[in-house]
Chain A
Amino acid sequence: MSVASPAGTAVAPAVPEQPEAARVRRFWSSRRNTAALVALVVVAAAGALLYEESYIRSGHRAHAWRTWISDQLANRHLDDAWAIAGAAVLCALGLWLLLLAATPGLRRLLPLATADTDGLRAGLSRRAAAAMLRRAALETPGVREADAEVGRRKARVRAVVGFGDPTEVKAALAEHLSAERGRLGLVRPPMVNVKVKGKS
């Protein structure tokens, strides 16, 4: 995809993609919302139990909710449908939290190349990349309507030709978009897939 530079490649060994790929550092989400939600649930549950245990310990009778829970736990066997469903839900929740803890998140941000900017890291939102591609498509002569979607590896541009030969418009569009793809400045620019429709 990258255009080989005419000079200077002889000095560096011809591995243009490898160091480029190694430099990709995703943005890692702080997982603030999930953490707040889990912390809130744990505070509520542990706080309620703490209150109830000290309440019982100081000689009171347990509240109805506490009695209901202990009755349910005592009367349901492990092979009860509710017990199995509950255990499956616990497993799924646990896996989900582990997944959230281990993955970067922030999939809407594409890392920008910042090799020549000291100490600065930057990301471009996928929506912004799509807006740039759509704008470039609309600037191409002959394109009447355009729509762009940018994924993490692929981008799709759909254009409607207003005038001119669709084949020529498509060629011009592809050229224009490949220039715009470079202008995005991403560490790993998405592959741009162009679809052109004739005038409807």
Chain B
Amino acid sequence: MSRTAVNRTLLALVGLVLLAGGALLLAGGLDLNHRWHLGLPSDWTVTDPHHAVLAPADRVRWRDAGWWWPSVLAGLAAATLLSLWWLLAQLRRGAVDRIAVPDTDDIPVRVRGAALARAVAEEAEQLPGVSRARVRLLGSARHPRARLALTLEPGAAPGPVLRDLSAGPLTHARTSAGLAVLPAEAVLKVEPGPVPRVR
């Protein structure tokens, strides 16, 4: 699962928990169960607006049960570890270290990801209309993908640049690493520059 999918799933989960908790408390405070006939179970404390948000009696209700402390500690530990992992996953840059060249089973051949990325960037900067290129190779050793940030010279058009990029640097990188496909994402900016004035 990609980082985007993980982030979005977990954000949705946290959002749902917050929304559900907030909605329950709000329903309690505004007496919505009674007014709108929501039919919440009558032993839920949120059905009574005069009930405390969390009364001491509710807080320690299961304290004497044998499962209470292990469950609380395990739940909190799981939440802490999971969110720590989630936080650390955001710091990873995700650059691929080595790319496995396929069809070289007897001699494992690997290409350094950074070297390939630099080669693509250098070739891209030679293309007409491109003033700067930054390239990173992400993904895994067997399925790398390229991410490019291109700065165009003033007056250059994106269409031809993209065609040259695909036919030149990206195709060369793909064939030299022996890959069947090299998916790429490019973000284009334009260099601010002087405008030739027509008088």
Contact = CB atoms under 8 A, between A and B. Distances in A.
Given A31-B11, A76-B52, A49 B187 contact: no
B17 A94 contact: yes
A122 interface: yes
Chain B at the A interface: mostly helix, strand, loop or mixed? helix
A86 B20 CA distance: 13
A36 B167 CA distance: 38
Nearest to A186: B158
A96 B15 contact: yes
Given A77-B52, A117-B162, A124-B158, A40 B87 contact: yes
Interface stretch (B25-33, B99-107, B109-117): B25-33
A44 to B, nearest CB: 9
A49 B46 CA distance: 24
Given A38-B11, A94-B17, A141-B198, A121 B185 contact: yes
Interface in B11-56: 11-12, 14-26, 28-31, 45-46, 48-56
Interface stretch (A108-116, A153-161, A190-198): A108-116
A32 to B, nearest CB: 5
Interface residues of B, number: 78
A113 B15 contact: no
A51 to B, nearest CB: 9
Chain A at the B interface: mostly helix, strand, loop or mixed? helix
A185 interface: yes
Contacts of B91: 36
A35 B7 contact: yes
Interface stretch (A2-10, A14-22, A131-139): A131-139
B172 to A, nearest CB: 13
Interface residues on A, range: 35 or more
Contact of B53 (A57, A76, A184): A76
Given A102-B12, A119-B181, A50 B76 contact: yes
A124 to B, nearest CB: 5
Contacts of B17: 94
A178 interface: no
Interface in A30-81: 30-32, 34-36, 38-40, 42-43, 46-47, 49-50, 53-54, 57, 70, 72-80
A129 to B, nearest CB: 8
A91 B52 contact: no
Interface of A: 27-32, 34-36, 38-40, 42-43, 46-47, 49-50, 53-54, 57, 70, 72-80, 83-84, 86-98, 100-102, 109, 112-114, 116-125, 127-128, 131-132, 134-135, 138-141, 183-185
Give me the 4 closest cross-chain CB pairs, A-B, nearest first: A94-B19, A90-B22, A97-B15, A94-B18
20 contacts: A28-B4, A31-B4, A38-B11, A43-B87, A47-B80, A57-B69, A77-B49, A78-B46, A78-B48, A83-B25, A84-B26, A97-B18, A112-B188, A118-B166, A119-B184, A120-B162, A120-B183, A121-B185, A128-B188, A138-B198
